[in-house]
């Protein structure tokens, strides 16, 4: 493919969140009732935490949100200007401006809400492991009206691959449905992520509605096991679960469904991962998103699944050696 034909080939939709990232201690987690490795939505009790994190000397602000991370990593891996685009909702505020600066290269088309502040995600790092508490704010205000505007719908029409993290099911299931049905009707590749155990548990109906359209499903082992448990599947074996997910009904027969389940530093099913010595691990925030971004960067070039997984492992390996979902200027993946 010529680089011109890659224009807008990959579209993502999701919750843009500004990561407020800092190294904390166990006491901080206990104070706000957070478990290591959590990925949860903020409740009342968590709200004071954002200011406390922001006051820390080592605090960093990084444009985040699961889908946006994946799209930015895919764009970085591709090194073809304009290959990706992204939609989500931010507020008209300082954090929103930060986000716009950071996400330009990923082709972000934000819906800007007048009344809600830009969404934030507290990234609490203890011993390299991250716990995430998302305060969606404006990200929660995305509406399908924005999607239907001609200048935005053209992004959907241009894209050949569409990726949406499960987190977006809590915000705009009707937007997901519009895009999913479009993909099925036009033979495009539609992809989703299980994203978090709470999505599989509490947003099962919305998930159930979108799943038949998904040609690729991503997730980690915890999410896969929760997904299975909710459906009463009597197995904890991630390989079996991945197989069962692949066999769930599909809305269109154009593509076979492929399920990709990651297992931290264990091999991705039958694919080896790059083992990183513990002292090189900075933080795991964005590792799963980067994995997907690396995967997508090869998928849109119609590379084999082996190549997609190799790129996915490479991207995740780069990200965990850095703070947040950030990367050097150019990849050295070959």
Q: Which residues touch 202 (CB under 8 Å, ≥6 apart)?
A: none
- Which residue is it, tokens 């924005």? 146
Q: Is 289 a catalytic residue?
A: yes
Residue identified by tokens 């197995």 is 235
How far is the C-alpha of 291 from the C-alpha of 70, rounded, in Å?
Answer: 8
List all residues 6 or more positions away from 117 whose beta carbon is below 8 Å from its beta carbon. 91, 93, 95, 137, 138
Among 114, 215, 289, 332, the active-site one is 289
* Residue 314 C-beta-side C-alpha neighbours within 13 Å: 21
- Distances in whole angstroms, Cα of residue 9 to Cα of each of 69, 148, 193, 197, 332: 17, 19, 19, 30, 22
Tokens of 103: 């996400």
Cα(first)–Cα(last) distance of the chain, in Å? Answer: 18
Which stretches within 1-40 are classed as H helix? 26-31
H-run or E-run covering 104: none
Contacts for 154 with CB less than 8 Å, ≥ 6 apart: none
Contact assessment for residue 201 and residue 178, using Cβ atoms and an 8 Å cutoff: no
Q: Are 285 and 19 in contact (CB under 8 A)?
A: yes
Task: Tell me which residue has tokens 């685009």.
Answer: 85
Strand partners, 111: 89
Catalytic annotation, residues = 289
């Amino acid at each position: 493919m010529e680089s011109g034909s890659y224009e807008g080939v990959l579209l993502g939709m999701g919750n843009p969140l500004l990561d407020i990232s800092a190294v904390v201690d166990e006491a901080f987690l206990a104070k706000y009732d957070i478990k290591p490795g959590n990925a949860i939505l903020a409740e009342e009790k968590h709200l004071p935490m954002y200011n406390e994190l922001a006051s820390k000397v080592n605090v960093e602000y990084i444009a985040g949100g699961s889908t946006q991370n994946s799209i930015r990593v895919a764009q970085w891996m591709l090194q073809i200007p304009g290959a990706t685009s992204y939609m989500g909702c931010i507020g008209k505020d300082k954090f929103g401006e930060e986000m716009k600066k950071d996400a330009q290269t990923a082709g972000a088309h934000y819906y800007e809400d007048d009344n809600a502040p830009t969404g934030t995600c507290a990234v609490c790092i203890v011993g390299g492991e991250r716990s995430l508490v998302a305060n969606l704010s404006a990200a929660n205000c995305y509406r399908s009206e924005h999607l239907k505007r001609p200048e935005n719908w053209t992004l959907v029409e241009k894209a050949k691959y569409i990726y949406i993290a499960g987190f977006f099911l809590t915000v705009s299931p009707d937007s997901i449905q519009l895009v999913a049905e479009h993909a099925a009707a036009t033979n495009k590749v539609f992809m989703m992520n299980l994203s978090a155990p709470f999505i599989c548990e509490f947003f099962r109906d919305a998930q159930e509605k979108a799943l038949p359209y998904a040609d690729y499903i991503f997730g980690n082992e915890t999410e896969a096991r929760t997904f299975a448990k909710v459906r009463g599947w009597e197995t904890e074996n991630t390989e079996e679960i991945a197989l069962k997910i692949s066999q769930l009904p599909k809305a269109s027969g154009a593509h076979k469904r492929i399920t990709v389940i990651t297992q931290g530093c264990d091999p991705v099913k039958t694919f080896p991962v790059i083992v990183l010595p513990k002292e090189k691990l900075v933080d795991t925030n964005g590792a799963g998103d980067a994995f997907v971004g690396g995967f997508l960067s090869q998928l849109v070039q119609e590379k084999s699944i082996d190549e997609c997984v190799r790129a996915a492992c490479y991207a995740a390996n780069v990200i965990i050696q850095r703070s947040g979902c950030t990367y050097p200027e150019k990849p050295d993946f070959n």
